[in-house]
C-alpha cells in the first residue's frame, strides 16, 4: 500500500507512517496513567512535532489507551515526543507498547476507530477521541492529505459498522446490565420504590440508566456524604435521604442497589426489617452486601458476578458481528487504496499536462506567425480539449494497472522527459 511515500507526498520525504502506543492489554492503569496526555500536553506535542518538521500527526489519549499516529523518519522520533510530554520513560514505554508501520499501522487505526480493538467490543467512544485529535492537529496545520483521507475513511467505516451491524447492541456496562436485570425480572417496575445507596461512578451511571429505561419516579438516593447525592439528585429531580435514615428507607423499598465501594460490607441482615420482598443488587468490588442477608426469606441477592453473565452474553453476540464489520472495513480500505494509487501517479499526470501545454504554447506561437488570420482562440480551445482527453486516457490506464504501475510511470516519464518535473 505504501511503498514510496515520497512519490505520494513530497512533504513526507524519507518518512514512514507509524502508529505507536500502549493500551489496556499490556499496560495496567498505573502505567497508562504515566503516559496520559492532557490537553496542554497534546498542544505541546503537536507544536514540537511541527517545529521538528514532522509533516503530519494525530494524538489520542483515553483511560484505556494512548497513541500517536504520524509520519516520522523512525519510530523513536515519536516515542521520544510522547515521553518528553508525559511522566513515562522510553524504557517503560518499550516494555508495554506496540509499534506499527505503514500498512499495519493503517490496519490498526481502522480496528481502533471501529471499536474492534476496544476493551469492550463495539465501544465507539474512541471515535470521538479520534475526531478531537484530528481537529486539534488540523487547527495548527499538522494534517496532510494522506492523514485527512485516512481518518475520514476510518470515521466512515465506524458509521457504517454502527448502522449496519449489531456490534454495539446490548448491555456491556455493569450499570446498564443491572437495569436490564431489573427490567427482565421485576413487573411494573415504574411503580416500585428504588433505593440507590452509593453515588460514585457506578452509582451515577446506574442512576442515569434507571431514569432512562424504567420511567420510575420513586427513586431515592443515599450516600455517606450527602452533598454528593444532592448534586446527582438535583440533576434528575430525585429524593435524597440522610445516611441515618437508611434502615427505614430500605424497609419501604422494593429494590435496593448498593454501589458504595467500601472495603467491608455496608449492608447486612441486621439492617433489614422487611415487610415485603426486597431485591438487592450489589454492584461493588469487593462485595458490599453481606451473604447473611440470604438468611431472610423475602430477600433476593444478586452480585456483580451474576450480572456479568448478561455482559458476557452480549459480548458473545457482538463477536458474531465481527466478520461483517471486517467486510465493511475491507470495502472502505479498498476505496482508500484506490485513492492512494491515484496519488501515486498524480504528479506524473500533472507533469505530463504541463509538458503538453508547453508544446501547445510553442506550436500555437509558431503557427500564429506562419498562418495568415490564424485564430488563436479556437486553437487554444481545441488544443486544451485534446490535452484533457490525452491526460485522462493516461490516468485511466494507470488506474487499471496493477503491479506494473511503476513501469508505466517510468515509461511515461521517459518518453516525455518528465523526470525532472515529477
**Which residues form the catalytic set?**
63
Closest to 133 measured CA to CA, from 62, 81, 185: 62
65-72 and 16-23 strand pairing: antiparallel
Element (H, E) at 90: helix 90-96
- Phi, psi of 418, rounded to the nearest 5 degrees: -100, -5
Instruction: Write out the DSSP string of 264-304.
Output: S-SB-GGG---SS-EEEEE--SS--B-GGGGGSTTEEEEEH
Query: 485513492: which residue's cell?
Result: 339
68 alpha carbon, distance to own chain's centre: 13
Instruction: Write out the DSSP string of 376-421.
Output: HHHHHHHHHHHHHHHHHHHHHHHHH--TTHHHHHHHHHHHTT-GGG
Closest to 4 measured CA to CA, from 405, 414, 352, 400: 405
Distances (CA, A) of 217 to 174, 204, 275, 325: 22, 16, 22, 40
Alpha helices of 140-245 — where are they, by DSSP H?
A: 145-164, 174-185, 201-214, 226-236
Q: Which three cell numbers stand for residue 96?
A: 508495554
Q: Is it true that the peptide bond before 286 is cis, omega within 30 degrees of 0? A: yes
- Phi, psi of 3, rounded to the nearest 5 degrees: -95, -30
Inter-residue contact 253 to 193 (CB < 8 Å)? yes
CA distance 3 to 294: 66
CA distance 384 to 407: 27
Amino acid at each position: 500500500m505504501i511503498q514510496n511515500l515520497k512519490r505520494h507526498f513530497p512533504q513526507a520525504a524519507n518518512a514512514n507512517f507509524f502508529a505507536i502506543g500502549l493500551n489496556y492489554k499490556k499496560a495496567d492503569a498505573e502505567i497508562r496513567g504515566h503516559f496520559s496526555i492532557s490537553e496542554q500536553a497534546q498542544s505541546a506535542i503537536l507544536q514540537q512535532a511541527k517545529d521538528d518538521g514532522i509533516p503530519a500527526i494525530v494524538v489520542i489519549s483515553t483511560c484505556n489507551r494512548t497513541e500517536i499516529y504520524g509520519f516520522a523518519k523512525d519510530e523513536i522520533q515519536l516515542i521520544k515526543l510522547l515521553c518528553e510530554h508525559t511522566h513515562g520513560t522510553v524504557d517503560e514505554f518499550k516494555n508495554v507498547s506496540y509499534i506499527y508501520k505503514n500498512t499495519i499501522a493503517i490496519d490498526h487505526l481502522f480496528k481502533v476507530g471501529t471499536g474492534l480493538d476496544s476493551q469492550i467490543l463495539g465501544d465507539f467512544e474512541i471515535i470521538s477521541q479520534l475526531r478531537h485529535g484530528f481537529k486539534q492537529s488540523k487547527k495548527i496545520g499538522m494534517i496532510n492529505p494522506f492523514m485527512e483521507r485516512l481518518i475520514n475513511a476510518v470515521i466512515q467505516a465506524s458509521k457504517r459498522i454502527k448502522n449496519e451491524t449489531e456490534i454495539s447492541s446490548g448491555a456491556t456496562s455493569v450499570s446498564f446490565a443491572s437495569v436490564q436485570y431489573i427490567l427482565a425480572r421485576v413487573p411494573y417496575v415504574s411503580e416500585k420504590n428504588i433505593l440507590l445507596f452509593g453515588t460514585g461512578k457506578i452509582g451515577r451511571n446506574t442512576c442515569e440508566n434507571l431514569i432512562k429505561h424504567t420511567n420510575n419516579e420513586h427513586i431515592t438516593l443515599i450516600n455517606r456524604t450527602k452533598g454528593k447525592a444532592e448534586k446527582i439528585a438535583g440533576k434528575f429531580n430525585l429524593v435524597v435521604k440522610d445516611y441515618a435514615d437508611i434502615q427505614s428507607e430500605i424497609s419501604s423499598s422494593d429494590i435496593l442497589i448498593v454501589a458504595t465501594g467500601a472495603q467491608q460490607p455496608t449492608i447486612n441482615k441486621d439492617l433489614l426489617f422487611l415487610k415485603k420482598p426486597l431485591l438487592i443488587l450489589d454492584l461493588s468490588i469487593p462485595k458490599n452486601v453481606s451473604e447473611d442477608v440470604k438468611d431472610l426469606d423475602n430477600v433476593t441477592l444478586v452480585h456483580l458476578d451474576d450480572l456479568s453473565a448478561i455482559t458476557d452474553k452480549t459480548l458473545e453476540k457482538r463477536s458474531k458481528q465481527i466478520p461483517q464489520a471486517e467486510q465493511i472495513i475491507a470495502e472502505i480500505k479498498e476505496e482508500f487504496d484506490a485513492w492512494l494509487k491515484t496519488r501515486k501517479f498524480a504528479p506524473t499526470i500533472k507533469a505530463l499536462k504541463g509538458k503538453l501545454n508547453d508544446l501547445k504554447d510553442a506550436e500555437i506561437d509558431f503557427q500564429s506567425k506562419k498562418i495568415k488570420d490564424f485564430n488563436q482562440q479556437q486553437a487554444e480551445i481545441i488544443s486544451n480539449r485534446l490535452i484533457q482527453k490525452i491526460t485522462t486516457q493516461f490516468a485511466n490506464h494507470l488506474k487499471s494497472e496493477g503491479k506494473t504501475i511503476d513501469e508505466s510511470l517510468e515509461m511515461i516519464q521517459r518518453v516525455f522527459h518528465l523526470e525532472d518535473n515529477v
